[in-house]
Structure 1
Amino acid sequence: MERSGLMNRNNGQRLGITEPISLGGPTESDVIKTREVEKYLRDAGLYESPEEAVSREEVLGRLDQIVKIWVKAISRSKGLNEQLVQEANAKIFTFGSYRLGVHGPGADIDTLCVGPRHATRDEDFFGELFRMLSEMPEVMELHPVPDAHVPVMKFKFNGVSIDLLYAKLSLWVIPEDLDISQDSILQNADEQTVRSLNGCRVTDQILRLVPNIQNFRTTLRCMRLWAKRRGVYSNVAGFLGGINWALLVARICQLYPNALPNMLVSRFFRVYTQWRWPNPVMLCAIEEGSLGLQVWDPRRNPKDRFHLMPIITPAYPSMNSSYNVSSSTLRIMSEEFKRGSEICEAMEASKTDWDTLFEPYSFFEAYKNYLQTDITAANADDLRKWKGWVESRLRQLTLKIERHTCYMLQCHPHPGDFSDRSRAFHCCYFMGLQRKQGVPVKEGEKFDMRLTVKEFKHNVLMYSLWKPGMEISVSHVKRRDIPNFVFPGGIRPSRPSKVTWESRRSSELKFSGHAQDNSGVGKAVSKGTDNERKRKRVDDSLETNLRNTKCLAAVPPSTEECCPSVSAISLTSIKNDKMDTHRVEESGKEKSENDTPDSLGNITNVVEVSSQNGQPNVSVRCNSPNKNPPADDATSSRETEKLAIEKILSGPYGAHQAVPEELDELEYDFEYRNQGKDIREKLKGGHLESSTENTAVAVPLTSSTGSASSNGLYSNGNSEELEPTELVAPLSNVTPAPVVQGKPLIRLSFTSLAKSTDKSL
């Protein structure tokens, strides 16, 4: 794509808060690889059929007619004169993946109903409109959620899943040509209306702020598929949801406006591998607005300082769309970005293909220990409600474990749910567990999760719509005991999954080292050593900055006060002998830059820096964009690109991040918060009845060597054992719902490698 295309689309104005990193156009290789990825997406079934597209349009048209009938009916019932009744109007807008044009077959359609000031949310939308929909034979699975953070009505209309929000504007009549992108639409709007409008306003703004919509859509489809395959697509689990991925991709499109999807995917991983969180990702400058609504600003809003991975919405009022991210999920996504960047470099060198990038993450092979959360209900309707509530609370379990173990135990929640068909109205969730990397275990230390599990269950059972039959249990399960129903077809694999990128990399590194030792070709491999070492120093510096920033935002400063015995342990790194050996080996080897030609084109080593609205403007000028650069130029362009990213990250927000000493994301529901302190005191004071079968006791963390195996993100190690014991009796004087007995309480102990060699799976 020519640069003139960018200028024509945007009337000569650049997009984004900084200048692009590169204006380079596609190479022939980029064109070929983009065709390959488009075919990959089609073969993966990500595009709906023309028939389904027509069906969706018909459903949306029918829904628009229904809300127009509804608003006239309630206008007449409220005594408005006939003229106002005839003028009364409501309108349906779409947002999310459907509006962005990246939805797939069977996907939900996010919709918004905009109504006049006299059409209320509780009485009219969740009352009269709900009644109308419930009487229609084409409407199935109607489920209102009026108490949600963003109230929604969920249902299926002729088989098409609909999520319908409502926004009440301060207008007597809703014009058919209403433009909800105008800030004036928020005048006198209540908080729920502002939230409901936000989805549409953000979606439309994204489409305005990307230089090429088609390239954006293809790239976003790639990243959504990748995130789902790698298990990092879920806002409720603490990862990123659809709007988060859209914003991240849109920012890459701004930084590389003339690039095709192949290059945009590669640069996505390269940029976000180097990104120093919690520096925010923003598509445009944050506007204060004239309505006095609060916008995201860590310099003024204390709560905003504790967000670990801020991805800011571009529409007023700007807010962080990724506040659910925890230290554990950020760590997991950062590792996945790094993996994606390595694979894209290999693809540029024609050493692998798209299949490798999209390899599904083998979650049930990655850890030795898991937490299994099972829920049941009396019927399907109760299970749907109970499931929605429990899913919204599961993130609290992750935060509680991290907080109560002083961040020594790391959690990896699986973003999906599983059902055992042999059990009626059942659903379960899994979470992988591992000890924090590089922290040895001191002899005699104790690590107990009894209070954590108890508090979590009690919090969940405070559900205001709880009914008999709604039950929850949390138990420990080892990898070898994972139930068969979680595997495809209900069949447990007899051996580990196919050879993965990680295992291939490990084998290649071992073979490469062996070949150098025995064939005398060390000189050939050492070519370009100076450039490689220089690049490695830059990489190490960036990774150190990211690590330090994450620690600042994730680890309490008062660790010694929280658990003095743990804080005294020195952090060391011990090589792991399991699944993540490739990362250990990479740390002692330097990758050859000459093996990965850059598709940026020849970029002169000049960075232009200016300033606008307090943000740095960085532009890398490109020459001969349609030719592949020599190896030396590729190294130079990589260094220049890193410098450009550094300038982008020098915005005004990063320095205002605070240590979460006072942050309490583990907020209970209103009723539970009033009792929380007393409950915790009772638990700590031992005001609990012991089980008649087993007495809950603390488990020591022992190590004969004074240390234990430190494993990587996807490793298991041989040093971790979770031991179950029976749950103690429910809390006295606090009985919002019966606590299910008989499930194991989680206790964690770490043993040395010497003691655990006979316990391998």
Structure 2
Amino acid sequence: MGSSNGQRLGITEPISLAGPTDDDLMRTRKLEKYLRDVNLYESQEEAVSREEVLGRLDQIVKIWVKKISRAKGLNDQLLQEANAKIFTFGSYRLGVHGPGADIDTLCVGPRHATREEDFFGELHQMLTEMPEVTELHPVPDAHVPVMKFKFSGVSIDLLYARLSLWVIPEDLDISQDSILQNADEQTVRSLNGCRVTDQILRLVPKIQNFRTTLRCMRFWAKRRGVYSNVAGFLGGINWALLVARICQLYPNAVPSMLVSRFFRVYTQWRWPNPVLLCAIEEGSLGLQVWDPRRNPKDKYHLMPIITPAYPCMNSSYNVSTSTLRIMMDEFQRGHEICEAMEKNEADVDWDTLFEPFTFFEAYKNYLRIDISAENADDLRNWKGWVESRLRQLTLKIERHTYNMLQCHPHPGDFSDKSKPLYCSYFMGLQRKQGVPVGEGEQFDIRLTVKEFKQAVSMYTLRKPGMQISVAHVTRRNLPNFVFPGGVRPSRPSKGTWDSRRALERKVSSHTKPGADDGRKRKQTDDNVDTHLRNAKCHATMPSSSGEFREGSPIVSTISSSSINLQFEHMDANELVGSNREKVENNLTDSIRDSRNSVEVSSHNGKVDGPMIGDPRNKGLSFNSSNSKDAEKLAIEKIMSVYPFYIIISLDCSALIFNPIMLTVIWLNFTSLNKAT
């Protein structure tokens, strides 16, 4: 899998072993300075405080396990040896956490320490009685059960793994697959975070370069609004896996190069080809691993990013059609900016890449989801539940409108300071571009919203006062509290990369009628609206402003007319632009090129043969002077490791209109039949 010189980590050879130029080193120094200036690194004092909290937490779980062992009548020897141990994972273990970040922790306990009675019972009670513990919030029914709390001001997410051992040794190695023997599903999922984190650190060639690049990409994703697993985008572990794969493909690159290559590779990536750091091992314990040939649910994953520890799973199953489209747009934007930086274009620097996405300027239509509760604890619990279900609303809208109405969920909540027990979520709405609009056509999503609210109302811990309401609002009727400082900007953003590109494309579309201008999601200037033809959007609102009247309670049901969206003739120019067509054209070009690509020999998830740029390379049919063409071919080669995933996962409707794709799939299918 790996090699001592760092040239072979992963399932394929690297794309390039090239090191940095002087310009790359200069851009890396600027990037590192930028990350420090925006306060992404914690102080030494905070680092010491975290270490102290983790040490204290480890002492507490050791006291806890001895207490329950005594209560259960274990013999003196077992009582003396009774032990539990704390492990860390996630951003803290990877070394990319920032000031005030949560620490993901795992408590590993023996077989007689149960999750329900002992962890969520006795340990919860012990923490409740400690003055340094605040905001204690157990979530036993979560997919991965967790206790959330603050310990001396440090945020902790604590999971529990119950092993089949009577005694937990202090030098326990949880990377061994045998640790999963006879473990229940919750324990396997809880252990997965630590096992995956440790495996990532083993599979990257230069850890410090990986850390700086990941810190950068996490910050970028948050600024651009695509960092949120629960909203259907990608979370911390997803970004870590994507960055780790780029580090494998460019083992000698410095962070500025890795950021650029990140966008270059994933702009060309043909999802649902999976991203893998290592081969998927079947294992000896019979646990289910990600395999769309065997598992029906795996066939529908749109953006598989596979965890490297057994049992290998797709870490990004939350991604939807809409959120994948949004992320591909953002990858394309990042790629264009990095290319401009490498060409030393004026006014393009790291500030440009990290410009925040102005969500509330981007769309004309939004869904507003308001929730309320009677006290702060109830609101925290209610928020957690509603947030976990919001992704279902996106999926339902996509499905019920046959993907014609696209959703962009904002990955955070907003609150009005005058209403402390209320909070709001927003989704941008737009018609799918490139689809003819029928006269009088409308999107009626009242039943969709009703289904969503009914599902949310099934919350088993729901209490009186926990309410939810959904309404359609237009951009001009957005509440002021969603804007920075609670002040609505008098004009849309000017002078940003997005606004300049939007203007360039607008000019291009006027000078080249009918040309595909690859518009971005960002539409920055309301003045442009006057030049758009036949653009109307009607909706019946709960009040004339589209907002809830001051002082009126948020109710759990709304009138059927308040989510009746009509788009009589909404021109694609008026709605938020998109790079999607440009991205799809690039992917089609990549598929076309793959017909001429070199044959690869695959076995056990590994690819034989020389790497791009290797002096031993004699068999690749491309002009070596064109490095980008070479990289494009290398990416195709990487994705051909698992060609059968494309056959299973592609939307068959695309094949009817895409003979090139059909030919490539037929060729892959023929090769697969011969191989099997």
Q: TM-score range by the shorter chain?
A: 0.7 to 0.9
**1:262-277 map, 5 Å:** 262-277=256-271
Please state whether the residue corresponding to 1:140 is helix, strand or coil.
Answer: strand
**1:302-451 map, 5 Å:** 302-351=296-345, 352-451=348-447
Deviation digits for residues 213-254 of structure 1 (CA, Å, limit 9, x no counterpart): 000000001100110000000000000000000000000000
- Which residue identity is paired with 1:483? P
CA change 1:619–1:495 in 2 (3 A) is farther
Match of 1:576 in 2: 573
Measure how far apart 1:8 and its partner are.
3.4
Match of 1:492 in 2: 488
Measure how far apart 1:327 and its partner are.
0.3
Measure how far apart 1:90 and its partner are.
0.3
Please state whether the residue corresponding to 1:147 is helix, strand or coil.
Answer: coil
**1:255-654 map, 5 Å:** 255-351=249-345, 352-507=348-503, 576=573, 580=577, 609-617=600-608, 619-622=610-613, 636-652=626-642, 653-654=644-645
Contact 2:61 2:107 (C-alpha < 8 Å) held by counterparts:
yes
2:236 to 238, 242, 248: 242
- Which residue identity is paired with 1:385? N
Deviation digits for residues 740-760 of structure 1 (CA, Å, limit 9, x no counterpart): xxxxxxxxxxxxxxxxxxxxx
Contact 2:218 2:236 (C-alpha < 8 Å) held by counterparts:
yes
In 2: Cα distance, 1:467 partner to 1:506 partner: 47
Correspondence 1:34 to 2:31: no
CA change 1:89–1:583 in 2 (3 A) is closer
Please state whether the residue corresponding to 2:4 is helix, strand or coil.
Answer: helix
Deviation digits for residues 372-405 of structure 1 (CA, Å, limit 9, x no counterpart): 0000000000000000000001001101111111
CA change 1:69–1:574 in 2 (3 A) is same
In 2: Cα distance, 1:435 partner to 1:139 partner: 48
Deviation digits for residues 616-638 of structure 1 (CA, Å, limit 9, x no counterpart): 346445489xxxxxxx9897111
In 2: Cα distance, 1:623 partner to 1:293 partner: 39
Measure how far apart 1:423 and its partner are.
1.1
Contact 1:93 1:111 (C-alpha < 8 Å) held by counterparts:
yes
Match of 1:135 in 2: 129
Measure how far apart 1:407 and its partner are.
1.2
**1:9-158 map, 5 Å:** 14-158=8-152
Match of 2:176 in 1: 182
Measure how far apart 1:466 and its partner are.
0.8
Please state whether the residue corresponding to 1:462 is helix, strand or coil.
Answer: coil
Deviation digits for residues 582-637 of structure 1 (CA, Å, limit 9, x no counterpart): 9999999xxxxxxxxxxxxxxxxx9895544254346445489xxxxxxx989711
In 1: Cα distance, 2:254 partner to 2:605 partner: 30
In 1: Cα distance, 2:598 partner to 2:256 partner: 24
- Which residue identity is paired with 1:504? R
CA change 1:646–1:621 in 2 (3 A) is closer
In 1: Cα distance, 2:70 partner to 2:88 partner: 27
Contact 1:329 1:412 (C-alpha < 8 Å) held by counterparts:
yes
Match of 1:655 in 2: 646
- Which residue identity is paired with 1:43? D
- Which residue identity is paired with 1:316? Y
CA change 1:171–1:370 in 2 (3 A) is same
Contact 1:413 1:432 (C-alpha < 8 Å) held by counterparts:
yes
Please state whether the residue corresponding to 1:114 is helix, strand or coil.
Answer: strand
- Which residue identity is paired with 1:193? T
2:190 to 189, 193, 196: 196
Bigger CA radius of gyration: 1
In 2: Cα distance, 1:218 partner to 1:58 partner: 25
In 1: Cα distance, 2:506 partner to 2:316 partner: 39
CA change 1:582–1:651 in 2 (3 A) is closer
Which structure is higher in RCO with an 8 Å CA cutoff and minimum separation 6?
A: 1
In 1: Cα distance, 2:206 partner to 2:610 partner: 19
What are structure 2's unaligned runs of at least 5 residues? Answer: 519-568, 586-596, 616-621, 653-676
Contact 1:506 1:585 (C-alpha < 8 Å) held by counterparts:
no
Please state whether the residue corresponding to 1:419 is helix, strand or coil.
Answer: coil
Measure how far apart 1:576 and its partner are.
1.6
Measure how far apart 1:110 and its partner are.
0.2
Match of 1:753 in 2: none
Measure how far apart 1:497 and its partner are.
1.6
Please state whether the residue corresponding to 2:429 is helix, strand or coil.
Answer: strand
Please state whether the residue corresponding to 1:657 is helix, strand or coil.
Answer: helix
Contact 1:152 1:165 (C-alpha < 8 Å) held by counterparts:
yes
Match of 1:673 in 2: none
In 1: Cα distance, 2:613 partner to 2:581 partner: 37
Measure how far apart 1:508 and its partner are.
5.5
Please state whether the residue corresponding to 2:444 is helix, strand or coil.
Answer: coil
In 2: Cα distance, 1:515 partner to 1:441 partner: 24
Contact 1:21 1:619 (C-alpha < 8 Å) held by counterparts:
no
- Which residue identity is paired with 2:62? K
In 1: Cα distance, 2:73 partner to 2:578 partner: 74
Correspondence 1:214 to 2:208: yes
TM superposition score normalised by structure 1: 0.72
Measure how far apart 1:504 and its partner are.
2.0
Deviation digits for residues 468-522 of structure 1 (CA, Å, limit 9, x no counterpart): 0000000011101111111111111111123221332355578899999xxxxxx
In 1: Cα distance, 2:651 partner to 2:584 partner: 31
CA change 1:575–1:371 in 2 (3 A) is closer
Match of 2:540 in 1: none
Please state whether the residue corresponding to 1:320 is helix, strand or coil.
Answer: coil
Deviation digits for residues 244-295 of structure 1 (CA, Å, limit 9, x no counterpart): 0000000000000010010100010010000000000000000000000000
What are structure 1's unaligned runs of at least 5 residues? Answer: 1-5, 517-535, 540-571, 589-605, 625-631, 662-761
CA change 1:450–1:225 in 2 (3 A) is same
Please state whether the residue corresponding to 2:646 is helix, strand or coil.
Answer: helix
Match of 2:529 in 1: none
CA change 1:584–1:69 in 2 (3 A) is closer
In 2: Cα distance, 1:188 partner to 1:579 partner: 52
- Which residue identity is paired with 1:462? M
Please state whether the residue corresponding to 2:391 is helix, strand or coil.
Answer: helix
In 1: Cα distance, 2:133 partner to 2:228 partner: 27
- Which residue identity is paired with 1:420? D
Contact 2:329 2:580 (C-alpha < 8 Å) held by counterparts:
no
CA change 1:311–1:646 in 2 (3 A) is same
TM superposition score normalised by structure 2: 0.81
CA change 1:144–1:582 in 2 (3 A) is closer
Of 383-392 and 441-450, the range deviating more from structure 2 = 441-450
In 1: Cα distance, 2:237 partner to 2:201 partner: 12
Contact 1:288 1:295 (C-alpha < 8 Å) held by counterparts:
yes
Measure how far apart 1:655 and its partner are.
3.0
